[in-house]
Structure 1
Amino acid sequence: MHTVKFLIWFCLFSIVVGAQEENPAKQFWNTLQTHCGKAYEGTLIFPKEDKAFGGKKLVMHLRACNETEIKIPFYVGDDKSRTWILTYQNDRISLKHDHRHEDGKEDKINFYGGISTNIGKANVQFFPADSKTQSMIPDAATNIWWITINEDVFTYNLRRLGTERVFKIAMDLQNPITIPEAPWGWKD
């Protein structure tokens, strides 16, 4: 009788503890959620000589968040054309890139990116190029994007396997900045 009671107790305890534990993708997601509504400035780590990003003020704003989607406009100097869109579904996170023109219209190369192939880690998620990206941008077929986050820093990274293409920016999460105006295609 005691064995049966113990087994029932153990099963119930395991269910409760298991329900409380979050997988690494959800932990990563929840950490991002804590920054919703905030903006941060960052720096280009490499390549330093990048013509589009080098020497320009880099700002990200976790502007729109809900349970399954986080939209992060990313500003490069006066260029407000980029938004990273992260989506959480079925214990996976996808990363898409939304590019707009100054008038708000979509760029012809838009919504490319990838989806994590596993639950990743609580502080890093990887996004290999998906088939839509491979069709849209053949050279990006071997792209792998990844995002890291800890208490101090958010990094956005890109590596194009088989090439020298590598890109990394780091955003300072310790010092929120004034919220920037809306990116191109958004309304305040």
Structure 2
Amino acid sequence: MNIRKIIFLLALAISFPSISQEIAPSQTFWDTLKSHCGNAYEGSLALPEEDKDFGGKKLVMHFRACSDNEIRIPFYVGDDKSRTWILTKMNDIITLKHDHRHEDGTEDEINFYGGTASNVGKADLQFFPADTQTQKMIPAAATNVWWITIDDKIFTYNLKRIGTERIFKVVMDLTKTIEKPEAPWGWKE
């Protein structure tokens, strides 16, 4: 190759920098979640308006542990510290699982149910249809779809059982942090 060609190719490379690879929407979603790591937030029940287990209780989420491939978010309902949402990411696909514990830290009989996104979703929204493990564990939940939304002001955790009236929505206020709660039941550092 002659010197003119080399100079021409170098000039082209400088003039037209390579186009960076597009970031998957699920990675943007993940990075947004991780930006809250260590913070705790309070929220409220949006649906159903009348719920005996969640209605009128203080709802708190704590982005307690974050790594490149796992985010653990304990979710407190009043004095009940039994729930942790576990999100994992592999090959730009996110999975949501629910870890339920008793006060002594032992696993609940119904534990680690959830689903895996069927695609990379959107930067502010990820869907998790019930997986086979969930269907076997909770047959009525075979048509469950969970979804999480996040932007700079709110985080929502949602559930719809397709074909039924079952719907659930919690809205967490991300505009102000609150004091970090104690560890959830069964938490291991």
TM bin (shorter chain):
over 0.9
Identical-residue share of aligned pairs (%): 65
> Could you tell me how far apart the structure 2 residues matched to 1:165 and 1:134 are?
16
TM score, norm. by length of structure 1:
0.92
Q: Kindly provide the amino acid, as one letter, of the partner of residue 9 in structure 1.
A: A
Structure 1 residue 17: Cα displacement: 1.3
TM score, norm. by length of structure 2:
0.92
Q: For residue 29 of structure 2, give the secondary structure of its aligned residue in structure 1.
A: helix
State which structure, 1 or 2, has the greater radius of gyration over its C-alpha atoms. Answer: 2
Does residue 90 of the first structure (1) align with residue 94 of the second (2)? Answer: no
Structure 1 residue 149: Cα displacement: 0.1
Q: For residue 133 of structure 2, give the secondary structure of its aligned residue in structure 1.
A: helix
- String of CA shifts for 1:150-186, please: whole Å, max 9, x gaps: 0000000000000000000000000100000010002
Q: For residue 96 of structure 1, give the secondary structure of its aligned residue in structure 2.
A: strand
Structure 1 residue 187: Cα displacement: 5.0
Q: Which residue of 2 aligns with 1:171?
A: 172
Structure 1 residue 13: Cα displacement: 3.6
> Could you tell me how far apart the structure 2 residues matched to 1:114 and 1:186 are?
22
> Could you tell me how far apart the structure 1 residues matched to 2:51 and 2:159 are?
13
> Could you tell me how far apart the structure 2 residues matched to 1:67 and 1:29 are?
9
Q: For residue 17 of structure 1, give the secondary structure of its aligned residue in structure 2.
A: coil
- String of CA shifts for 1:40-67, please: whole Å, max 9, x gaps: 0000001011110000000000001111
Matches within 5 A, 1:30-109: 30-109=31-110
> Could you tell me how far apart the structure 2 residues matched to 1:186 and 1:133 are?
23
> Could you tell me how far apart the structure 2 residues matched to 1:121 and 1:187 are?
32
Does residue 17 of the first structure (1) align with residue 15 of the second (2)? Answer: no
Alignment length (residue pairs): 183
Give the RMSD, CA atoms, in angstroms.
1.9
Q: Which residue of 2 aligns with 1:127?
A: 128
> Could you tell me how far apart the structure 2 residues matched to 1:147 and 1:186 are?
23
Q: Which runs of 4+ in 1 moved over 6 A?
A: none
Q: Kindly provide the amino acid, as one letter, of the partner of residue 67 in structure 2.
A: N
Q: For residue 86 of structure 1, give the secondary structure of its aligned residue in structure 2.
A: strand
> Could you tell me how far apart the structure 1 residues matched to 2:182 and 2:123 are?
31
Structure 1 residue 9: Cα displacement: 3.4
Q: For residue 28 of structure 1, give the secondary structure of its aligned residue in structure 2.
A: helix
Structure 2: 5+ residue runs without aligned partners? none
Does residue 5 of the first structure (1) align with residue 6 of the second (2)? Answer: no
> Could you tell me how far apart the structure 2 residues matched to 1:187 and 1:131 are?
27
Q: Which residue of 1 aligns with 2:29?
A: 28
Q: Kindly provide the amino acid, as one letter, of the partner of residue 33 in structure 1.
A: K
Structure 1: 5+ residue runs without aligned partners? none
Q: Which residue of 2 aligns with 1:146?
A: 147
